Amino acid sequence: MFIPIYDINPLDHVRRPYVTWGLIVLNIAIYVLGQHGFSGAASEASLLCCGAIPAVVTGQAVLPETQVDEDTVARHWMTDVFEPVIEAIPPELSEKLEPAEVFHEVLEHRWFLSEAA
C-alpha cells in the first residue's frame, strides 16, 4: 500500500497533500460502509448505481431488469457463445457434424465435467 507522506520534488506552496489524504480517507470510509454498513438489497443497489461494471460499459452484458430486444440478445449469444465454440473445432473435424450438433456435444461434455467435479 502506498501512502503519500512526502515527495522528493521541492514545492514551495504545498506543504501537505490534504486532498490526497482526504481521498484516501473517503475511499476507506466507502469501503468500510460497503462491507459492513449496508445489508441485502441496499448493498446491491449501491453497487449497481455507483459502480461501473466493465462488461456493461463495453456492451458485452446488460444489467438485470434491463429491457433488451430479442435480436440484440440473439446476436450477442451468436458472437459471444456459439461462434467461439464452433471456431475452436479443428478444420478436419468440423465437417463431420453440423455446428448445432457440435455445440450440443460441447454442452453435454461440459455438463459431464461439472457432474464429475
**Is the per-residue pLDDT at 42 higher than 90?**
no
**Is the per-residue pLDDT at 38 higher than 70?**
no
The whole-number pLDDT of residue 68 equals: 81
pTM of the full predicted structure? 0.46
In this prediction, residue 29 has a pLDDT band, given cuts at 50, 70 and 90, of confident
The whole-number pLDDT of residue 11 equals: 65
pLDDT tens per residue across span 44-92: 666 667 677 787 778 777 777 778 888 888 988 899 899 999 999 988 8
Percentage of residues in the chain having pLDDT higher than 90: 30
- Residue 56, classified by CB atoms within 10 Å of its CB into exposed (0-12), middle (13-18) or buried (19+), is middle
C-alpha cell recorded at residue 79: 458472437
The whole-number pLDDT of residue 86 equals: 92
The whole-number pLDDT of residue 17 equals: 80
Domain boundaries, the chain: 1-51, 58-117
Nearest 10 degrees: CA dihedral of 3, 4, 6, 7?
Answer: 130
